[in-house]
Structures are given as structure tokens and as C-alpha cells.
Amino acid sequence: RKEVEQDPGPFNVPEGATVAFNCTYSNSASQSFFWYRQDCRKEPKLLMSVYSSGNEDGRFTAQLNRASQYISLLIRDSKLSDSATYLCVGYNFNKFYFGSGTKLNVKP
């Protein structure tokens, strides 16, 4: 079983829509979590860290549910520039574990 699992998508949404991604993790001892964004043929770029209390950064809200072992990312008022692959990442024992990514296409 993979450490981190995500729906690969693609999620095709119109501009202005709200879209939510979830990912699940298998190791309950995982210590920290992040969402990264990766554009085609580019490096992953940190979007935000994820906390149990939930955290918000502008149009983006991330949430960690340790009891159910899932992480979510909510994007409000989607922009064309939000089109990318979103990577769910967990950290455990010296390693970051990456999900395979969820592809988002925001259409005009």
C-alpha cells in the first residue's frame, strides 16, 4: 500500500469554482504534511503546510484529520493560473512521501 494516496483526476472546473482535493495516508505516525504544487516539467513548489487546526492562505484552505488519516485542500474562486498538479506530501522518519498528484484544469 502506498504511503500517500491521491485521486489523480483530472479535475476540470470553470473559473470561479470551488474545488476540493483529498488524500489519505497509511502511516499514523506521520509527523507533518504539506501540499505542493507542480507545474508541467517544473519542480514541486510548496503551497502550504497542513495542520490539524486547519490553515488558510488566501483562497486556499488545508485541513488534516488525524483520526481518519486524510488531508484536504480547498481552493475557492479558482483561477486559470491554478491549473497544475497538486501533490500531497507526508513526512515520516527522515523522508517526505509524495502522492502521485491530482491534476487540476481550470477552464475559462
Partner 1 sequence: EAGVTQFPSHSVIEKGQTVTLRCDPISGHDNLYWYRRVMGKEIKFLLHFVKESKQDESGMPNNRFLAERTGGTYSTLKVQPAELEDSGVYFCASSQERGARAFFGQGTRLTVV
Question: What does the binding site for partner 1 look like in residue numbers (CB under 8 A)?
Answer: 2, 31-32, 34, 36, 42-46, 49, 87, 91, 93-101
CA angle 10, 21, 65 (to 5 degrees): 155
Q: Between 36 and 78, whose beta carbon lies closer to partner 1?
A: 36
Q: Rounded to the nearest whole angstrom, what is the least distance from the CB of residue 17 to partner 1 in the complex?
A: 26
Supply the Cα-derived Rg of the chain in whole angstroms: 13
Residue 95 β-bridge partners: 92
Q: Rounded to the nearest whole angstrom, what is the least distance from the CB of residue 79 to partner 1 in the complex?
A: 23
Is residue 3 within 8 Å of 22, Cβ to Cβ?
no
For residues 80, 16, 52, 24, the Cα torsion angle rounded to the nearest 10 degrees is -70
Is residue 10 within 8 Å of 101, Cβ to Cβ?
no
Q: Between 13 and 55, whose beta carbon lies closer to partner 1?
A: 55
Q: Between 18 and 32, whose beta carbon lies closer to partner 1?
A: 32
Q: Rounded to the nearest whole angstrom, what is the least distance from the CB of residue 96 to partner 1 in the complex?
A: 6
Q: Between 11 and 34, whose beta carbon lies closer to partner 1?
A: 34
Residue 96 β-bridge partners: 91
Q: Rounded to the nearest whole angstrom, what is the least distance from the CB of residue 97 to partner 1 in the complex?
A: 7
